[in-house]
Amino acid sequence: MLNAIGWVATAVFASSYFFRQATTLRRIQAAAAFLWVVYGFLIGAMPVVVANVIVAAAAVYSSFTAQRRARLSQLESEPMPMPGAKS
Q: Is residue 84 part of a domain?
A: no
| Per-residue pLDDT, 85 | 60
Give the Cα separation of 62 and 39 in Å (integer). Answer: 24
Which residue ranges in the chain fall short of pLDDT 50?
A: none
Q: Is residue 87 part of a domain?
A: no
The domain tally of the chain equals: 1
In 10 A of CB 26, how many CB atoms? 23
For the full predicted model, state whether its pTM sits above 0.95.
Answer: no
CB-based burial, 57-73: b 16+ in 10 Å, e otherwise: eebbebbeeeeeeeeee
Which helix or strand (DSSP H or E) is residue 74 part of?
Answer: helix 46-77
Q: Is residue 49 part of a domain?
A: yes
| Per-residue pLDDT, 69 | 74
Q: Is residue 86 part of a domain?
A: no
